């Protein structure tokens, strides 16, 4: 292209941009930019630090893992930022520990190679689900070692660490101590042959690896042997009085979720005991004591410190977040099984350092998401895992919507393909999609995509009816999200869209209205498009791609979530072209996806239960026969002893 041609193209582009900008008529200052370079606490403002439980690196997260931590935290982070709050959201892969070392042995790679592989996989999954971390890091960093060893040393110097000896199962074949989950054997309760050392999957009983009948190493099948080893324990009993005082204050001020408070209270009520914080491994943060140089810090002492080190890898000014507790509030999201480590172990460690550390303000926990009435299982190919959700061809926003509507906040919930399809077709498509498409298409066709001059008073009962309803819904939404009731917040957002559909229906937005009452038609169009703009903002935390699609159709930027409804798209503003936000899913897909993702697992589980029951009866029969043999032997021995005694008495008499 010649220089002249290039110059002409540049002028055309500038003219096109100027033409576009001249038709954007929006209230200034309402937009918000979700991308900020470095986020630090600000004086005189509310500063929120948000974390989601660090996903363990050695496997692929399933939908239950995703809703339990990262997706829930993402919604709250997006909400806070859209409200103008100064918030930082950090997460990362939890990479140290027995499970990683053992998985690496299984795959024939080094622990680092394994972590590098799965860290990338996790990030790809979360990117597809549109999880917007400010920093997604990992625990295998120099700063993790530095900070964890600092906390350990402070606890040691302050007298909150002690040495104890403990007996563990050791695999002589691969020369390693075995974590409970890597010991398998026959369940002593139900006879299931493949029970783990921590729990039986069939009867559900919690187990001790020493309880298993015929225990074996999960890696190589050899029989482990008990061995004693010295370890460092955190003296939780010494820290309990201060911890209880903190829990009482923090749980009330931070409005902890009910299950989070119950789990914490049950731990404290039992009385805290010293807890082991070291392990006989090579893959982990080295214990900073010469006599323990061959051991590492236990992953559950180390992992929560990962939040700190990931922040430190985000900014060199990380102490502004973690060492100014009077200026920052910490919100943490996780499944219920992670609660004690965040409400007992980590805060106790912080208290024991005698330094100013940021502690938990609010904990948001979930119960379990089941899959079609059973459990997710990678080994049995049951359930939807993060890396194959996109194989369905369904956009990530639809998965986000369904998971958040099924968020197990107070009890276990179930992922069901039938319900998934129903909610997409009846709620996303028929409610939100219908409202937005109907009004945008109408303005495209009847108003040449331009908002007319309008006066909302032309709408009957505008202030006492429509405006009052919208502001009530918006106030309820903001209060609900501020209190971290995420599922209810989405239900309220949906009610705003329903109110929009009712608004168009009440006012009869059609050709007849346009001809017979143009002033009212103009008002309906102007108010309706502004309601779409408001709807895009309240949906943004939940359905970010959908919200971006909505503002693109409005030819407007993302907007902050306001306190009250306002008419920010002005007369003369030119909107974009209508586009479908959602697509209908054929109900026949239910059976296709159930077969693809193992939705028929109930049959397998029933067979497994029958197998376990058969094994249990077999064990009972065997034990009964053994008892009978032992009783018979004892009776024979007693009879023999009695006969000997009688003979001796007879000899003595004679």
At residue 106 the predicted structure's pLDDT band, cuts being 50, 70 and 90, is confident
Of the candidates 350, 357, 360, 358, the residue with the CA atom closest to the CA atom of residue 158: 350
Per-residue pLDDT, 586 = 98
Residue 551 Cα distances to 35, 233, 595, 606, 617, angstroms: 17, 55, 38, 50, 64
- pLDDT tens digits, one per residue of 226-260: 999 999 999 999 999 999 999 999 999 999 999 99
Q: Which of 263 and 20 is assigned the larger pLDDT?
A: 263
Length of the chain: 654
pLDDT at residue 653, rounded to an integer? 35
Give the orientation angle of helix 434-446 with respect to helix 518-539, to 10 degrees.
Answer: 140
Is pLDDT above 90 for 23? Answer: no
Q: What is the CA radius of gyration of the chain?
A: 31
Positive or negative CA dihedral for 443, 444, 447, 452? positive
Read off the pLDDT of each residue in 213-227 and give the average, rounded to a whole number: 93
- Between the alpha carbon of residue 521 and those of residues 454, 504, 506, 513, 587, the distances in Å are 9, 10, 12, 6, 38
Q: Residue 503 has what pLDDT?
A: 97
* pLDDT tier, 43 (very low <50, low <70, confident <90, very high otherwise): very high
pLDDT digits (tens, 9 = 90+) for 478-490: 999 999 999 999 9
Identify the pLDDT of residue 377.
81
Over residues 149-158, the pLDDT tens digits come to: 999 999 999 9
Q: Which of the two residues, 241 and 218, has the higher pLDDT score? A: 241
Could you count the other beta carbons within 10 Å of the beta carbon of residue 438? 17
For residues 616 and 332, the model is more confident at 332
Instruction: List CB contacts of 217: < 8 A, sequence separation 6 or more.
Output: 171, 173, 174, 178, 182, 183, 184, 223, 224
* Rounded average pLDDT over 318-322: 98
Decide: residue 98, CB within 10 A, 0-12 exposed, 13-18 middle, 19+ buried.
Answer: buried
Position 334 pLDDT exceeds 80: yes
CB-side neighbour CA atoms (13 Å) of 648: 6
Q: What is the pTM of this model?
A: 0.86
Contact 146, 153 (CB under 8 A): no
Has residue 328 got a pLDDT over 60?
yes
Residue showing tokens 């050709």: 511
| Other beta carbons within 10 Å of 230 | 13
Question: Averaged over 277-282, what is the pLDDT?
Answer: 90
Give me the torsion for CA of 107, 111, 114, 120, rounded to 10°.
170
Backbone angles phi, psi at 540, to 5 degrees: -50, -45
pLDDT at 18 over 50: no
Mean pLDDT of 288-316: 95
pLDDT at 124 over 60: yes
User: What's the pLDDT band for 624 if we cut at 50, 70, 90?
Assistant: low
DSSP 398-429: HHHHHHHHT--SSS-EEE-HHHHHHHIIIIII
Which tens digits make up the pLDDT trace of 490-538?
A: 999 999 999 999 999 999 999 999 999 999 999 999 999 999 999 999 9
First to last CA, the chain: 134
Q: Which tens digits make up the pLDDT trace of 49-65?
A: 999 999 999 889 999 99
Residue ranges and CATH numbers for the domains of the chain are 47-154+240-366 (3.40.50.620), 416-586 (1.10.730.10)
**To the nearest whole percent, how much of the chain has pLDDT over 70?**
88
Residue 32 near residue 558 (C-beta atoms within 8 A): yes
* 560: pLDDT strictly greater than 70: yes
| Structure confidence by residue, pLDDT tens digits, 389-442 | 999 999 999 999 999 999 999 999 999 999 999 999 999 999 999 999 999 999
Residue 16, pLDDT score: 42
Confidence (pLDDT) at 1: 37
Please name the residues in contact with 590: beta carbons below 8 A apart, sequence gap of 6 or more: 417, 418, 421
Distance CA(1)–CA(298), nearest Å, equals 64
Q: What is the pLDDT of residue 208?
A: 86
What are the Cα distances from residue 60, in Å, to 107, 280, 407, 420?
A: 15, 26, 20, 22
Average per-residue pLDDT for the chain: 89
């Amino acid at each position: 292209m010649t220089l002249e041609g290039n110059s002409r193209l540049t002028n055309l582009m500038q003219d096109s941009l100027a033409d576009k900008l001249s038709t954007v008529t929006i209230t200034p200052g309402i937009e918000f930019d979700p991308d900020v370079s470095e986020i630090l606490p600000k004086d005189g403002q509310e500063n929120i630090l948000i974390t989601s439980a660090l996903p363990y690196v050695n496997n692929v997260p399933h939908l239950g893992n995703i809703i339990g931590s990262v997706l829930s935290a993402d919604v709250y982070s997006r909400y806070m930022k859209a409200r103008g709050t100064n918030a930082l959201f950090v997460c990362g892969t939890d990479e140290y520990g027995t499970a990683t070392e053992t998985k690496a042995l299984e795959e024939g790679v080094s622990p680092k190679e394994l972590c590098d592989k799965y860290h990338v996989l996790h990030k790809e999954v979360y990117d597809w689900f549109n999880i917007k971390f400010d920093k997604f890091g990992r625990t295998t960093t120099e700063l993790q070692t530095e900070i964890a060893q600092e906390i350990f040393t402070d606890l040691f110097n302050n007298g909150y660490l002690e040495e104890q000896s403990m007996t563990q199962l050791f695999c002589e074949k691969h020369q390693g101590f075995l974590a409970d989950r890597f010991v398998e054997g026959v369940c002593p309760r139900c006879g299931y042959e493949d029970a783990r050392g921590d729990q039986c999957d069939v009867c559900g009983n919690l187990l001790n690896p020493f309880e298993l009948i015929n225990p074996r190493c999960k890696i190589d099948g050899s029989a482990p042997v008990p061995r004693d080893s010295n370890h460092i324990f955190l003296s939780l009993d010494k820290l309990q009085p201060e911890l209880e005082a903190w829990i009482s204050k923090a749980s009330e001020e931070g409005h902890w979720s009910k299950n989070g408070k119950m789990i914490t209270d049950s731990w404290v009520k039992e009385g805290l005991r010293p807890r082991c914080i070291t392990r006989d491994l090579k893959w982990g943060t080295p214990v900073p004591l010469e006599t323990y140089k061959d051991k590492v810090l236990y992953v559950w002492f180390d992992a929560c410190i990962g939040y700190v080190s990931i922040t430190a890898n985000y900014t060199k000014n990380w102490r502004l977040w973690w060492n100014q507790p009077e200026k920052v509030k910490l919100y943490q999201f996780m499944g219920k099984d992670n609660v004690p480590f965040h409400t007992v172990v980590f805060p106790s460690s912080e208290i024991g350092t005698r330094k100013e550390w940021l502690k938990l303000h609010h904990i948001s926990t979930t119960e379990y998401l089941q899959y079609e009435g059973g459990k997710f299982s990678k080994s049995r190919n049951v359930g939807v895992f993060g890396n194959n959700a996109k194989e369905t061809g369904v956009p990530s926003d639809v998965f986000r919507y369904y998971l958040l509507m099924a968020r197990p906040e107070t009890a276990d919930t179930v992922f069901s393909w039938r319900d998934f399809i129903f909610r997409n077709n009846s709620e996303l498509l028929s409610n939100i999609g219908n409202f937005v498409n109907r009004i945008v298409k109408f303005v495209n066709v009847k108003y040449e995509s331009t908002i007319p001059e309008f006066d909302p008073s032309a709408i009957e009962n505008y202030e006492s009816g429509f405006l009052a309803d919208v502001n009530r819904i918006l106030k309820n939404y903001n209060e609900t999200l501020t209190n971290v009731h995420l599922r209810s917040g989405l239900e309220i957002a949906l009610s705003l869209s329903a109110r929009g559909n009712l608004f168009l229906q009440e006012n009869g937005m059609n050709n007849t209205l346009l001809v017979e009452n143009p002033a009212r038609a103009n008002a309906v169009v102007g108010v309706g498009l502004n309601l779409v703009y408001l709807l895009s903002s309240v949906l943004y935390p939940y359905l970010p791609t959908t919200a971006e699609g909505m503002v693109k159709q409005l030819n407007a930027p993302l907007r902050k979530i306001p306190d009250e409804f306002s008419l920010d798209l002005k007369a003369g503003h030119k909107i974009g072209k209508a586009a479908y936000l959602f697509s209908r899913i054929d109900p026949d897909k239910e059976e296709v996806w159930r077969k693809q993702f193992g939705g028929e697992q109930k049959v397998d589980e029933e067979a497994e239960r029958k197998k376990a029951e058969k094994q249990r009866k077999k064990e009972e029969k065997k034990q009964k026969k053994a008892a009978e043999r032992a009783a018979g032997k004892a009776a024979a021995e007693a009879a023999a002893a009695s006969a000997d005694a009688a003979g001796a008495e007879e000899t003595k008499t004679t």
